[in-house]
Structure 1
Amino acid sequence: MSVPPADAAPPALEPFQQSKALSLGVELELQLVNTHDYDLAPYSDEMLRLMSKIPLPGSVVPEMTSSMIEISTGICHSSAEVLGQLSQIRDALVRCADKLNIACVGGGTHPFQMWHDQRIYDKPRFRQLSELYGYLSKQFTIFGQHVHIGCPSPDDALLMLHRMSRYIPHFIALSASSPYVQGHDTQFDSARLNSVFAFPMSGRAPFTLSWDKFGEFFAKTTRTGVVKSMKDFYWDIRPKPEFGTIEIRVFDTPLTIERAAALAGFVQSLGAWFLEEQPFVPQEDDYMVYTYNRFQACRFGLEAVYVEPATGEHLPLREHIVRTCNQIEPHARRLGAAAAIDMLRQCADHGSNDARWLRETHAHERLLAEMVRQAAERFRGRPARA
């Protein structure tokens, strides 16, 4: 990734495409594991070859290392449609994995893989990233869910982005599924995000509510040669002008597609609340507590403390999630996401997320490999342990 010549024209920010407001798209990065010791297995090429023969919505593509695969839905209009598409893709993945004697698993990290054993997938962008970031590229063998939500205009996209930023801790805690790294309990519910934060272009987007001003920022950064496209920003939420969306990137990959679809319904219901009620105007000062709130959610999950940006009030994050679910419930009902919101509200109320399930399963079994095996069964849609 060399810096371009001084006389080279910097790349232009893509025009913001039209999309239907509140439309959804979901991406899931998944683990490929063998079925004898449940360590990661470099079978992405074989999986892609088998999956390419099956007509499915969305897409299936490689990821940074060869023990990962990314699935994505097409454009959806409800969390039920997200679940329907993910179900089709999941069922095809399971059939293909069975042919290869491997399994697909959710979760934000593999509990005991060693990053130095991983292979960078042979694709130009991944090779370039490996050259730039060195060992961090292999440490990027982590697994997240990304949710795209359609916005009516580019200015609306930035307004939506900065409103959503208040709820980053909620997204992290509800999706947290990465307590184990390289065989150890990290004491974080979402250790995955610690790897993301190591990248220089991670964090939050600059505060502006004007697409023209955002374009000026993009032009300044591309003139340095450090950034060539929006893909080079690893922000928690970033605009995706080519899709007409914003993309929320802090979710760990859940252990089940049902939770993944419910999280998409939560995002859509929040977006509807923002668009229809305009509940607050985001401010730069909101970000004074942003990093603290994000750390709390990563470290403690649903047991975190949340600082309300507008008032400075400290309260349990679980309580704020329940309060938020109650606020957006009328919009969730209209969008067909009421059951999804109710599921997440109950999870918050009981303090139960996938990180807790993983820890409880390990405490019961005392073997990380058996925990991964049971997580693979959960991804298939089968019951976990008896």
Structure 2
Amino acid sequence: MVGGDVVAGNVVAPLHPGGTPTRGSATLPAAGATVGVEEEFHLVDPGTFALASRPELAAAAARGEAGGRVHAEIATTQLETVTRVCTTLADVREELRAARAEAAVAAARAGAVLLAASTHPFSTWREQRITAAPRYEAMVERWAGLVLQQDICGCHVHVGVPDLDTAVAVMDRARPYLPVLLAMTGSSPFHDGVDTGYASYRTVWWSRWPMTGIPEHFGSADRYREVVDGMVAAGVIADASNLYWDVRPSSHLPTLEFRLADVCTDLDAAVLHAALCRSLVRVLAERARRDLPCPQPRPELLRAARWRAARSGLDGQLFDPLLGALVDARVAVRRLLAELEPDLRAHDEYAEVVDLVRLLMVRGTSAARQRRTWQRTGDARAVAEQLVRQAACGGC
């Protein structure tokens, strides 16, 4: 959740000082041509479903011995998976499936199973240990207790962009859309064994950090660099890789990274989230290219919209920061889909995305399903078992 960019780092070249990413002598593809996904999972005991600390697994993952798509995370009770660079939704699905399978095998070898949700239904941060590595020790030194209490997992989508100017222009325009995307992915209704009343309590817990949330409007790559330099000077971050905003330019990959989502319990929801983020980048990059006006809602209204999305998910109303009004969450999703429809059709993705949206509406978010299980059984372990089972079978 608090690591740097690692999506296909051995495949995609970094941003060069001049701002133009290259692969050899060839210019990288246009905005939205590529996509990659990082997912973080809790490790749990297969019998009790409580958090399971596996420092030996974290060490093996750090050495690259747990599978090419599997990486260590900040806590020894977590693993991260990283897809290779994808160009189609079929690629995304297959890569996510392969990455989850690699992580499941690595976990099984260590006597654990994967729990796919942003928070654990009953275990607490007090039961986890920080992974032994200089990187994480430096984080504890900088951010103290925030790091020690980092018991949440997230899903990050990297969408290819040609340069930093495009990344910032799209980031500026993406801000009003982020709450809807968040509402579709909520998977963290419980924290420290308590039903928080939120669909994404991870969002609330994560908001305590000084460099999270929806970033303010920048207007240019130069202004973005100025802000990064200022935050480094303040000691809040070491460099741009420590910016944990809901959307940010990658510090070393030619991508715009969406970091707002909870972990998607089922594969279909993860594919849907990646598809929407990618389509949004293509649409907004084209608007930026045409120099169309960039909406600039007040940051207070964006925070309100983000909070509403975290609170209710798809089971209530969302706040539209551009309209200044509450909208039924499912209406908001339909509006987003309608806005992206021409782009999705142009890339032959519309039918699949519509099917995935319908499936999400029928199933409900992971948070809603977890809460139904809790209300039916009163057993938090039943909730954890459900999450383990649904992650293993793809969402059944």
Q: Give the TM-score category using the shorter length.
A: 0.7 to 0.9
Counterparts in 2 of 1:262-277, with a 5 A limit?
A: 262-276=272-286
Counterparts of 1:348 and 1:198 in 2: how far apart (Å)?
Answer: 29
Alignment CA distance shift 1:256-1:211 (3 Å): same
Among 229, 246, 258, the residue aligned to 2:268: 258
Amino acid at match of 2:338: N
CA distance, structure 2, for counterparts of residue 246 and residue 163 of structure 1: 12
For 2:121, the equivalent position in structure 1 comes to 111
1:46 aligns with 2:49: no
Q: Are 1:105 and 1:375, in contact at CA under 8 Å, matched by a contact in 2? A: yes
Inter-CA distance 350–378: structure 2 relative to 1 (3 Å threshold)? closer
SS in 2 for 1:164: helix
Deviation at 1:44, TM superposition (A): 5.1
Q: Which AA in structure 2 matches 1:323?
A: R
Q: Equivalent residue of 1:302, what SS?
A: coil
CA–CA distance in structure 1, aligned partners of residues 216 and 58 of structure 2? 38
Per-residue deviation, residues 3-38 of structure 1 (Å, max 9, x unmatched)? xxxxxxxxxx96534243211111101111011210
Structure 1 distance, partners of 2:315, 2:395, is 26
- Aligned CA distance change for structure 1 residues 222 and 277 (closer, same or farther; 3 Å): closer
State the 1:244 CA deviation.
1.6
Aligned-residue identity in percent: 25
Q: Distance in 2 between matches of 1:276 and 1:284?
A: 18
For 1:156, the equivalent position in structure 2 comes to: 166
Deviation at 1:220, TM superposition (A): 2.8
Shift of 1:122: 0.5
Aligned match for 1:36, one of 47, 51, 56: 47
Tell me which amino acid in the other structure corresponds to 1:157.
A
**Residue 65 in 1 paired to residue 68 in 2?**
no
Q: CA deviation at 1:356?
A: 0.6
Note the C-alpha offset of 1:241: 4.0
TM-aligned CA distance change 1:271 to 1:383, over 3 Å: closer
Please report how far the alpha carbon of residue 277 of structure 1 lies from its aligned counterpart in structure 2 after TM superposition: 5.2
Structure 2 counterpart of 1:100: 110
Larger mean Cα displacement after TM superposition, 89-98 or 183-192? 89-98
Match of residue 4 from structure 2: none
For the 8 Å contact 1:15–1:241, the answer to whether it is kept is no
Distance 1:295 1:340, change over 3 A: farther
Counterpart code for 1:24:
V
Q: Is it true that 1:297 corresponds to 2:309 in the alignment?
A: yes
Which amino acid in structure 1 is aligned with residue 387 of structure 2?
A
Q: Is the 8 A contact 2:58 2:131 kept in 1?
A: no
- Report what 2:365 is aligned to: 353
Give me the TM-score of the superposition, normalised by structure 1. Answer: 0.88
Residue 167 (structure 1) aligned with residue 177 (structure 2): yes
Partner of 1:281: 293
**Which moves more between the two structures, 359-368 or 61-70?**
359-368
Runs of 4+ aligned residues of structure 1 deviating over 6 Å after TM superposition are: none
The TM-score, its normalising length taken from structure 2, stands at 0.86
Instruction: Structure 2 unaligned segments of length 5 or more: list them.
Output: 1-15, 22-27
Residue 339 of structure 1: how far off its partner (Å): 4.4
Mind listing any 5+ residue stretches in structure 1 that lack a counterpart? 1-12
Equivalent residue number for residue 19 of structure 2: 16
Q: Once the 2 structures are TM-superposed, how far is the Cα of residue 177 of structure 1 from its aligned partner?
A: 0.2
RMSD: 2.6
Query: Residue 369 of structure 1 aligns to which amino acid in structure 2?
Result: R
Equivalent residue, structure 2, for 1:323? 335
CA distance in 2, matches of 1:48, 1:262: 32
Contact 2:363 2:369 in 1 (8 A): no
Asked if 1:229 is matched to 2:239, the reply is yes
